Amino acid sequence: MPADAQQTILIVDDEPEVRTLLRTGLEGEGFAVAEAADGREAMALLDQLPVSLVTLDLKLGGEDGLKVARELRAARNTPMIMITGKGDAIDRIVGLELGADDYIPKPFLMREVIARIRAVLRRYASGATAGAETPAGQRYGFDDWIVDLARREVRDPTGAARELTTAEFNLLALFVQKPGRVLSRDELMDLLKGHDWTPMDRSIDALVARLRKKLEPDSEHPMLVKTVRGVGYAFAAAVKKL
């Protein structure tokens, strides 16, 4: 599997049997694998290795996996899949809102884990190359924010760079290019290529929630990304091409 030979998956789980199962399956598919039993070990390995994706147990023993997810997402844009025994839909949605790219409940089928890992990696690879397809100098402004599509850079009204994940930037890029237009969830799924969405996928809603937290003064009462009940979302800001 030469395409995956240089891709390292970090497994963060306090159960040795689960780590062994995942390691065996992933190495059999050509991935390199690193293991961590807790958040401290995980963050240390992320500083040492070129990790391509993290699988994270939501419970993680006595440590809150959600806290680890929050720290990981705040520090870097590494793809993250939650693999956990907690099956409550609320936990899944909270995990997605914190920046997880997918969520797989235990017990799982190894073939499904492999398929989802590859889907998330394709999504990030697609986002990383999107900037190369954008004409140089394509910049947009709204409410004193600046979005540079070619550089994949966002600056807030103070001029400071605002860190967005690949998916968050791709979503914002869609909005600034289609201001005022109501985009249904299905349209957003089609436009945000590289991810295997499902009809009941709540990832779009979680992605919008994450983007709002980074753009809106009050994400609970959004003024930029408006919800159109029963349809989808619309970018309400006045956008101009710079």
Give the domain CATH number at 26: 3.40.50.2300
Whether residue 165 is contained in a domain is answered as yes
> What domain range includes position 12?
8-126
Question: 218 and 176: one domain?
Answer: yes
Question: 27 and 115: one domain?
Answer: yes
Strand (E) or helix (H) holding 69: helix 65-75
pLDDT of 77 reads 73
Whether residue 77 is contained in a domain is answered as yes
> Across the chain, what does the average pLDDT equal?
82
CB atoms within 10 A of CB 74: 10
88 CA to centre of own chain? 20
CB 104 within 8 A of CB 83: yes
Whole-structure pTM value? 0.60
pLDDT of 150 reads 81
Structure tokens, 100: 């997880």
Residues 6+ apart with CB under 8 A from 40: none
pLDDT reading at 4 higher than 50: no
Each residue's pLDDT tens digit, 111-150: 999 998 998 888 777 655 444 444 444 889 999 999 998 8
Each residue's pLDDT tens digit, 67-113: 888 888 777 778 889 887 755 566 666 666 677 778 888 888 999 99
Q: Which residues pair with 146 in a beta bridge?
A: 141, 155
